[in-house]
Structure 1
Amino acid sequence: MSLSLTGEVVGYIGRILLNKNPFDPTGNDFLLYLVPLTISPAFLSAAIYLCLACIVVIYGEQLSRFKPGTYTIIFCGCDIFALVLQALGGGIASGAKTQSKLQLGINVMLAGLSVQVASLTLFALMCAEFAWRLHSHRNAWRTDHAAIYNSRLFKSFLIGLCVATLTIFIRSVFRVAEVSGGFHGPLANNQVSFMVLEGAMIVVATSCLTGLHPGYCFQGAWHAADFSFGKGKVLDEDTEMS
């Protein structure tokens, strides 16, 4: 989250500098805007992916198709891959001197953004599948965390997490459409659509993840919902205290 928000601030500083000098011959301001704003939402996605793993532990690992660590490995792995492609493509595009190299950078960025959209789509489907399992096996939920998942605060957190996922997905789809049209396309030069479908979506997502922070909404059980990649052992509160 910290990396993402830092990247967003840096990216908008780049846009302000471009406003003062849109034809900067060095291309540094364009690079300062393009790369951070392209890759920053990937860090937001990673934060959401980590939350799912802990949610699974709170309700009960036996109800999930996969171990909590498996969710983290799959989706954060996809996120890192998308991140590398987006950063690489942005670097190529910003330093391109020929049309062919510019198009190469755009294509690499587009591939990274497409991976992110696909990852978010798969994540949403797996969340829905886990929610269905919870609905179908209510009697199998962990009883030691009943006070947490029955609380209004935790239910609000789940809603906020869904909203954050949706807004990041909308933003990612918009960026795919924007980049696919090229830097001279209509979407890339429409400030209203950028501020609504890029800026506003990130503001909503970060507000949900901050106002409904998991460290607060898990009511002290975030560390108790930790998991290990090796044996998948869950730490309960007594183990944590000892």
Structure 2
Amino acid sequence: MASSADCPLEGCSRVFLTYSLSLGGNVALLALFAVLIPVTLAMGIRYNNTIFSTALATGLALEVMGYIGRILMSTGAPTRSSFTVFLLGTIIGPNFIFGAMVYVMQRIITLYGQEFQTWRRTWYFNMLYGLTVLSLVLEIAGGAVSTSLLASDTVNPGDRVLAVGLAIHLVALVIFTAHAGLFAIAVRTRHHILDPTHAPVYNSGLFRVFLIGFSAATFFLILRTAFRIVVIAEGFASSVAQAEVLFLVFDGVMVFIASGILLALFPGRVFGRSWRETSPRHPAHKPTRPPRPLPVQLLPTHQNPGLNKMNLKPAAHPENYPEHPSRKTYAPPPAHRNMVDSESLW
């Protein structure tokens, strides 16, 4: 319950959780997230996906930290430190998971061909990474301020900063989803100009399943972020914030399913050798196209000096030409005998 030496009674209902936390549910999610961390790092080493696996493992570690804070609050009196660990861990963890997904999206675009991207690659990914970093900073600052100001008679600015950070994260997810949809439409409508270099990868059934799972993971992160925005906007004392089942389902389970999908369909295993070839550091590959025919080159014309000496006048005057005989000069055709007169028949 919410009785602690560092938590005034009038502020506990607004900042700390006032219900008894389920030890079993929180321990279960803690164990599930903890198991995924070594698996993620091992697969990153196995398939040479260190950047992706590091970002994903960082997000999972932050989720573990958040549920450690919840377990501390369930086993004893909730304190400011335990609530801060819970809040920051579960808030900023999905940012790193989303950053890992943005990194994979670069490889997907390169796999099909740069000509299918709807926006410029440089500023598009810089914008997504910039929004993710900005959201991360605001969430950390807002969470720290929100748990440090406990006066119930004033509006906590940390809640607003935290809500803005989550809203920016949601905007980044929506932009990411919109671009992926436009990219899918471009590939589907112009599939006849696909680069055949990576055709064995994007034509495989495993890659199609990967795209479906990748889209589902994005949807689960959007659902989780929207839920946390509602919780922060309505306040920690609201019925939504004090409902543990809603939190465990729409936050913990959603993030775990998204992470599990990314591990089950690990990008390095799906891409195979194409993972290295689609790296941003790898020189861009241009699809082989038939060479264009050279333009017709006309030989330079030289004026013939003897051309001016030629007589271009007609050999004779028109009146000297023989006249063509008229049609009247031709004799009529001979009459055919033994032929029936058509007029006499009538």
Taking structure 2 as the reference length, what is the TM-score of the superposition?
Answer: 0.64
Matched, 1:156 2:206: no
- Indicate if the aligned counterparts of 1:89 and 1:107 stay in contact, CA closer than 8 A: yes
Tell me the amino acid that sits aligned with residue 6 of structure 1.
A
- Indicate if the aligned counterparts of 2:118 and 2:179 stay in contact, CA closer than 8 A: no
How much is the aligned-residue C-alpha RMSD, in angstroms?
1.7
Q: How much has 1:103 moved relative to structure 2?
A: 1.7
> C-alpha separation between the residues in 2 aligned to 1:69 and 1:225?
15
> C-alpha separation between the residues in 1 aligned to 2:275 and 2:122?
15
* Structure 2: runs of 5 or more not aligned: 1-55, 287-346
Q: In the alignment, which residue of structure 2 is the partner of 1:82?
A: 135
- Indicate if the aligned counterparts of 1:89 and 1:109 stay in contact, CA closer than 8 A: yes
- Between Structure 1 and Structure 2, the one with more helix by share is 1
- Indicate if the aligned counterparts of 1:92 and 1:102 stay in contact, CA closer than 8 A: no
> C-alpha separation between the residues in 1 aligned to 2:195 and 2:127?
25
* Structure 1: runs of 5 or more not aligned: 237-242
Rate the CA distance shift 1:144–1:194 in 2: closer, same or farther, 3 A.
same
Q: In the alignment, which residue of structure 2 is the partner of 1:13?
A: 68
User: Residue 251 of structure 2: SS of its match in structure 1?
Assistant: helix
> C-alpha separation between the residues in 2 aligned to 1:69 and 1:156?
28
Tell me the amino acid that sits aligned with residue 274 of structure 2.
A
Q: How much has 1:189 moved relative to structure 2?
A: 0.5
**The one of 284, 287, 308 aligned to 1:234:** 284
> C-alpha separation between the residues in 2 aligned to 1:90 and 1:28?
11
Tell me the amino acid that sits aligned with residue 58 of structure 2.
L
Q: In the alignment, which residue of structure 2 is the partner of 1:195?
A: 248
Q: In the alignment, which residue of structure 2 is the partner of 1:117?
A: 170
**The one of 22, 27, 32 aligned to 2:85:** 32
- Indicate if the aligned counterparts of 1:69 and 1:227 stay in contact, CA closer than 8 A: no
Of 67-76 and 213-222, deviating more is 67-76
- Indicate if the aligned counterparts of 1:53 and 1:69 stay in contact, CA closer than 8 A: no
> C-alpha separation between the residues in 2 aligned to 1:138 and 1:11?
45
Q: In the alignment, which residue of structure 2 is the partner of 1:165?
A: 218
State the number of aligned residues: 231
> C-alpha separation between the residues in 1 aligned to 2:205 and 2:120?
26
Tell me the amino acid that sits aligned with residue 37 of structure 1.
T
Q: How much has 1:233 moved relative to structure 2?
A: 4.1
Q: How much has 1:72 moved relative to structure 2?
A: 2.2
- Indicate if the aligned counterparts of 2:63 and 2:93 stay in contact, CA closer than 8 A: yes
1:40-71 alpha-carbon deviations (Å, 9 max, x no partner): 00111111111111100000001112344433
> C-alpha separation between the residues in 2 aligned to 1:114 and 1:204?
22
Q: How much has 1:31 moved relative to structure 2?
A: 0.7
> C-alpha separation between the residues in 2 aligned to 1:100 and 1:127?
45
User: Residue 62 of structure 2: SS of its match in structure 1?
Assistant: helix
> C-alpha separation between the residues in 2 aligned to 1:42 and 1:100?
32
Rate the CA distance shift 1:126–1:100 in 2: closer, same or farther, 3 A.
farther
**The one of 92, 116, 119 aligned to 1:66:** 119
Q: How much has 1:235 moved relative to structure 2?
A: 5.8
Tell me the amino acid that sits aligned with residue 194 of structure 2.
W
Q: How much has 1:97 moved relative to structure 2?
A: 3.6
Q: How much has 1:223 moved relative to structure 2?
A: 1.5
Aligned counterparts, 1:90-109, within 5 A: 90-99=143-152, 103-109=156-162
Rate the CA distance shift 1:69–1:215 in 2: closer, same or farther, 3 A.
farther
Q: In the alignment, which residue of structure 2 is the partner of 1:240?
A: none
> C-alpha separation between the residues in 2 aligned to 1:2 and 1:40?
10
